[in-house]
């Protein structure tokens, strides 16, 4: 069995956490050349580069990020062992690391992820938002337990990952109260020439809305294209334009942003997926989220 030098791993972990050899050497009370040499030995034993230099900064490689995550878990467990030996409480909650595609509405994320917080065994959520492709690349390096998206992964994706359909719902068109009252009459024909805020063209929802507008022969006035769903609601709140959002969170949207439902769009649907590296979900919190979704939490 290959032997891992945990002193070298600790040195690597400290440099990565502190952000530089200089700061890490002060924390560890080691000379900088000694510390750099020990990290090189770790890289040689793993046969992988863990850092690259960008200017004066040391930046983790993709492999370095994965090793850092494991090191963080290893040393966290070590601290827990020490606490147990000293009689301190050690009920450290399990962690659920989730990458969230920026196209997924935040209120839908909250509805899905709060299931994990309601489990009998406590769970600590760690949530990061980003572009789907970046999140999937990080998932392949085991930086996340799951990635939430609004579209399944297609064949061009070269990482080993699996789609788990969580469910979906129809969307509605929402607007500031004056706009809602004005365009609610004769909806959806009333949207012809009406001010709207649209998702960016790279999103599934935008494609579905474009098809719907075409099918009902309506040409709204496109005031803005906004990628971030939370920012879109802020602009919608001040009356800049109307926007589409999942109908299941209509009450929360009204309460949070003071907008009203203009009309439901039964022919436009948003679906949501959990992407994992496992064909069969084994993480208890991910399984609880998937089960709750399939039992109707998104209906």
Expressed as residue numbers, the domain containing 205 is 168-269
Q: Are residues 192 and 157 in the same domain?
A: no
Q: Are residues 162 and 291 in the same domain?
A: yes
Dihedrals φ, ψ of 252, to 5°?
Answer: -65, -40
Q: Are residues 54 and 200 in the same domain?
A: no
Q: Are residues 161 and 276 in the same domain?
A: yes
Buried b (16+ CB within 10 A) or exposed e, 201-240: eebbbbebbeebbeeeebebeebeebeebeebbebbbeeb
Task: Say which residue, 102 or 242, is predicted with more confidence.
Answer: 242
The pLDDT of residue 1 is above 50: no
pLDDT interval class at 295 (50, 70, 90): confident
Domain termination residue (choose one: 33, 58, 85): 85
Residue 21 lies in a domain: yes
Q: Which of 36, 7, 2 lies closest to 21, judged by CA?
A: 36
pLDDT tens track for 78-92: 776 776 666 555 566
**How far apart are the C-alpha atoms of 143 and 159, rounded to whole Å?**
14
Q: Are residues 120 and 151 in the same domain?
A: yes
Residue 117 lies in a domain: yes
CATH number, residue 251:
3.40.190.10
Q: Are residues 152 and 218 in the same domain?
A: no
**Length in residues, the chain:** 299
Domain termination residue (choose one: 85, 108, 127): 85
Q: Are residues 140 and 51 in the same domain?
A: no
Residue 1 lies in a domain: no
Cα 285 to Cα 30, 127, 132, 170: the distances in Å are 41, 14, 21, 26
**How far apart are the C-alpha atoms of 266 and 134, rounded to whole Å?**
32
Q: Are residues 142 and 276 in the same domain?
A: yes
Residue 62 lies in a domain: yes
Burial class of residue 272 in the structure, from the number of CB atoms within 10 Å of its CB (0-12 exposed, 13-18 middle, 19+ buried):
buried
Q: Span 205-215, mean pLDDT?
A: 95
- Residue 151 confidence (pLDDT): 87
Q: Are residues 162 and 217 in the same domain?
A: no
Residue 100 lies in a domain: yes
Task: Report yes or no on whether pTM surpasses 0.75.
Answer: no
Task: Say which residue, 285 or 155, is predicted with more confidence.
Answer: 285
Domain termination residue (choose one: 85, 103, 119): 85
Q: Total domain count for the chain?
A: 3
Q: Are residues 194 and 219 in the same domain?
A: yes
Contact assessment for residue 133 and residue 207, using Cβ atoms and an 8 Å cutoff: no
The pLDDT of residue 206 is above 90: yes
**How far apart are the C-alpha atoms of 222 and 188, rounded to whole Å?**
16
Q: Are residues 201 and 292 in the same domain?
A: no
The pLDDT of residue 235 is above 90: yes
Q: Are residues 154 and 179 in the same domain?
A: no
pLDDT tens track for 176-205: 999 999 999 999 999 999 999 999 998 889
Q: Span 245-270, mean pLDDT?
A: 93
Residue 240 lies in a domain: yes
What's the DSSP call for residue 203? Answer: S
Residue 122 lies in a domain: yes
pLDDT interval class at 120 (50, 70, 90): confident
Residue 288 lies in a domain: yes
**How far apart are the C-alpha atoms of 263 and 266, rounded to whole Å?**
10
End-to-end CA distance of the chain: 51
- Kindly report the average pLDDT of the chain as a whole number: 87
């Amino acid at each position: 069995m290959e032997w891992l030098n945990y002193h070298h791993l600790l040195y690597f972990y400290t440099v990565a956490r502190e952000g530089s050899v200089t700061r890490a050497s002060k924390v560890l009370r080691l000379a900088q050349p000694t510390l750099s040499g020990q990290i090189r030995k770790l890289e040689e034993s793993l046969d992988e580069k863990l850092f690259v230099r960008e200017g004066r900064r040391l930046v983790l490689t993709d492999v370095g990020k994965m090793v850092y995550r494991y090191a963080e878990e290893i040393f966290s467990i070590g601290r827990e062992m020490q606490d147990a030996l000293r009689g301190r409480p050690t009920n450290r909650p399990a962690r659920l690391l989730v990458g969230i595609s920026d196209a997924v509405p935040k209120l839908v994320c909250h509805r899905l992820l709060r299931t994990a917080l309601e489990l009998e065994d406590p769970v600590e959520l760690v949530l990061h938002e980003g572009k789907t492709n970046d999140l999937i690349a990080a998932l392949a390096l085991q930086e996340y337990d799951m990635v939430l998206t609004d579209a399944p992964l297609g064949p061009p994706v070269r990482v080993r990952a699996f789609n788990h359909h969580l469910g979906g719902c129809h969307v509605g068109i929402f607007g500031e109260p004056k706009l809602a009252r004005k365009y609610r009459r004769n909806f959806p024909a009333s949207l012809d020439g009406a001010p709207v805020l649209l998702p960016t063209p790279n999103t599934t929802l935008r494609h579905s809305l474009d098809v719907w507008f075409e099918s009902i022969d309506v040409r709204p006035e496109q005031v803005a294209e906004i990628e971030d769903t939370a920012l879109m609601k802020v602009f919608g709140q001040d009356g800049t334009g109307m926007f589409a959002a999942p109908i299941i969170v209509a009450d929360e949207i009204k309460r949070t942003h003071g907008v009203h439902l203009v009309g439901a769009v039964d022919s436009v649907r948003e679906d949501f997926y959990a992407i994992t590296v496992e064909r069969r979900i084994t993480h208890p919190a991910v399984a609880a989220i998937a089960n709750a979704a399939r039992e109707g939490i998104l209906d």
